């Protein structure tokens, strides 16, 4: 146990949340407008809508359900109202089944069963009153930093990312691992070209083989789509900022995971079974990657950026770290920590300490820039077509 104590909301499954959100989520895109109307009538709730929930099948359906259910099951969520249409694949009851073990207050509302919008709004209001009564009784209590799960993300990378922000986050990741917490390294397409750096850090041969296979899968998927990952990753913004190759971008990306051994490869939106550094199978798309890690239980995300991005998440704080001071000065109200000062001579470990201290403050209630700005991007990674 570390001496660092955090204040969180203890859930019945033994996990602690660093926020106590009430979420209203559509289980299918057809219910999005209703969720938006419910949200407009109640500023205390967080609406989550998306473009999925039907006309998919097999493993694709499972991934959608895992993502929706996992997001609601995140420890930062205290109560949930699920709004379904009534004829979709990802029904409200199916999504709710993912929350059974968390012991949260979960209500469901099915549009086709209730009928008129007036009745729907009345039913939503009644359900939310019950949820609020339960959530209001939740009080913060002490928990150890070892109970944290932290996602690691980079978006809008530039040539400074790999020498300022990402190495600093790598030191934070190592510290979290040393303290018994879990850190999630994501974005497998951004590991292409950095395989040798990763292989030497994976003690388990089965995990090593699976990760190397997934990296090859992404290369092949791009070819099957008639393209080349070098055409979209680095992105046009990465290239304009000065990154030249996917290998250069990847070497900067993986350093966010520090020097710790990799304990596990987790499926998209899956929960890690191991403590320490784990890799999640996410794409390089930032909102999809962040959504997957949060659905997998990340309490918060450390997000480095060189060109700047407002991306946040509905239920988990996203700490934004700039790789260069020029961008920080231009987009300061979107950024929490400027790692660009490393170029001017600030020690990497000093900036890492600054990030870690802010992380602790965020866990104890301080808002991030993304939270303050209501940046709440939510995007589910699909693995199949709509039918």
Which of 44-53, 79-88, 99-108, 151-160 has the weakest average pLDDT? 99-108
| The predicted structure's pLDDT at residue 5 | 83
pLDDT tens, position by position, 48-65: 999 999 999 999 999 999
| The predicted structure's pLDDT at residue 353 | 98
Q: How confident is the model at residue 253 (pLDDT cuts 50, 70, 90)?
A: confident
- Is 252 a residue whose pLDDT tops 90? no
| The predicted structure's pLDDT at residue 132 | 97
Q: How far apart are CA 382 and CA 287, in angstroms?
A: 13
Q: How confident is the model at residue 12 (pLDDT cuts 50, 70, 90)?
A: confident
| The predicted structure's pLDDT at residue 240 | 60
Query: The whole model's pTM is what?
Result: 0.95
| The predicted structure's pLDDT at residue 385 | 87
- Is 196 a residue whose pLDDT tops 60? yes
Q: How far apart are CA 247 and CA 252, in angstroms?
A: 9
Q: How confident is the model at residue 289 (pLDDT cuts 50, 70, 90)?
A: very high
Mean predicted lDDT score pLDDT of the chain: 93
- Is 237 a residue whose pLDDT tops 70? no
For 43, left (φ over 0), alpha (ψ -120 to 50), or beta?
alpha
Find the angle CA(163)-CA(220)-CA(71) to the nearest 5 degrees: 65
For the chain, what is the HEC assignment? CCCCEEEEEECCCCCEECCCEEEEEECCHHHHHHHHHHHHCCCCCEEECCCCCCCCCHHHHHHHHHHHHHHHHCCCEEEEEEEECCCCCCCHHHHHHCCHHHCCEEEEEEHHHHCCHHHHHHHHHHHHHHHHHHHCCCCEEEEEHHHCEEEEEECCCCCCCCCCHHHHHHHHHHHHHHCCCEEEECCHHHHCCCHHHHHCCCCCHHHHHHHHHHHHHHHHHHHHCCCCHHHCCCCHHHHHHCCCCHHHHHHHHHHHHCCCCEEEEECCCCCCCCCEEEEECCCCCHHHHHHHHHHCCCCEEEEEECCCCCCCCCCCCEEEEECCHHHHHHCHHHCCEEHHHHCCCCCHHHHHHHHHHHHHHHHCCCCCHHHHCCCCCCCCCCCCCCC
- Is 229 a residue whose pLDDT tops 90? no
Q: How confident is the model at residue 234 (pLDDT cuts 50, 70, 90)?
A: low
| The predicted structure's pLDDT at residue 183 | 99
Structure tokens belonging to residue 366: 């301080």
First vs last C-alpha separation in the chain: 50
pLDDT tens, position by position, 296-335: 999 999 999 999 999 999 999 999 999 999 999 999 999 9
Q: What is the mean pLDDT of residues 143-158?
A: 94
| The predicted structure's pLDDT at residue 157 | 82
Q: CA nearest 178: which of 364, 356, 363, 358?
A: 356
Q: What is the mean pLDDT of residues 361-367?
A: 98
Taking a C-beta distance cutoff of 8 angstroms, is the pair 103, 11 a contact?
yes
Q: How far apart are CA 165 and CA 234, in angstroms?
A: 18
Q: CA nearest 311: which of 257, 376, 264, 254?
A: 376
Report the percent of the chain where pLDDT is more than 90.
Answer: 83
Q: How confident is the model at residue 222 (pLDDT cuts 50, 70, 90)?
A: confident
Q: How far apart are CA 199 and CA 195, in angstroms?
A: 6
Name the residue with higher pLDDT: 100 or 4: 4
Find the angle CA(10)-CA(16)-CA(18) to the nearest 5 degrees: 110
Instruction: Tell me how crowded residue 84 is: count the other CB atoms within 10 A of its CB.
Output: 27
- Is 231 a residue whose pLDDT tops 60? no
| The predicted structure's pLDDT at residue 308 | 95
- Is 279 a residue whose pLDDT tops 80? yes
Q: CA nearest 312: which of 298, 329, 326?
A: 298
Domains and CATH numbers, the chain: 5-139 (3.40.50.2300), 148-372 (no CATH)
Taking a C-beta distance cutoff of 8 angstroms, is the pair 337, 354 a contact?
yes
- Is 258 a residue whose pLDDT tops 90? yes
Helix axes 348-363, 165-178, angle to 10 degrees: 60
Taking a C-beta distance cutoff of 8 angstroms, is the pair 24, 124 a contact?
yes
């Amino acid at each position: 146990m570390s001496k660092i104590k955090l204040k969180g909301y203890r859930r019945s499954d033994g996990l602690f949340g660093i926020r106590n959100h009430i979420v209203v989520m559509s289980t299918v895109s057809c219910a999005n407008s209703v969720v938006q109307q419910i949200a407009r009538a109640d500023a205390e709730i967080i609406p989550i809508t998306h473009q999925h929930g039907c006309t998919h099948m097999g493993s694709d359906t499972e991934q959608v359900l895992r993502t929706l259910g996992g997001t609601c099951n995140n420890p930062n969520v205290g109560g949930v109202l699920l709004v379904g249409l009534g004829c979709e694949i990802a029904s409200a009851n199916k999504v709710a089944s993912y929350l059974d073990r968390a012991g949260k207050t979960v209500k469901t509302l099915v549009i086709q069963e209730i009928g008129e919008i007036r009745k729907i709004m009345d039913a939503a209001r009644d359900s939310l009153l019950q949820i609020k009564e339960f959530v209001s009784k939740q009080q913060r209590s002490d928990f150890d930093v070892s109970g944290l799960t932290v996602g690691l993300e980079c978006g809008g990378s530039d040539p400074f990312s790999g020498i300022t922000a990402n190495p600093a986050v790598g030191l934070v990741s190592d510290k979290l691992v040393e303290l018994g917490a879990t850190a999630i390294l994501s974005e497998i397409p951004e590991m292409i070209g950095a395989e040798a750096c990763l292989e030497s850090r994976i003690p388990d041969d089965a995990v090593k083989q699976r990760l190397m296979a997934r990296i090859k899968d992404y290369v092949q998927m791009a070819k099957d789509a008639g393209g080349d990952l070098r055409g979209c990753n680095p992105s046009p913004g990465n290239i304009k900022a000065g990154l030249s190759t996917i290998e250069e971008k990847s070497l900067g990306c993986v350093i966010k995971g520090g020097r710790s051994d990799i304990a596990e490869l987790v499926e998209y939106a899956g929960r890690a079974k191991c403590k320490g550094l784990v890799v999640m199978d996410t794409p390089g798309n930032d909102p999809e990657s962040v959504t997957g890690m949060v659905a997998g239980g990340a309490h918060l995300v450390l997000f480095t950026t060189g060109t700047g991005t407002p991306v946040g998440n509905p239920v988990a704080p996203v700490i934004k770290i700039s790789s260069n001071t020029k961008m920080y000065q231009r987009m300061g109200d979107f950024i929490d920590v400027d790692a660009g000062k490393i170029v001017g001579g600030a020690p990497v470990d000093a900036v890492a300490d600054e990030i870690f201290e802010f992380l602790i403050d965020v866990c104890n209630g301080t808002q991030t820039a993304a939270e303050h700005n209501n940046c709440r991007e939510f995007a589910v990674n699909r693995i199949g077509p709509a039918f």
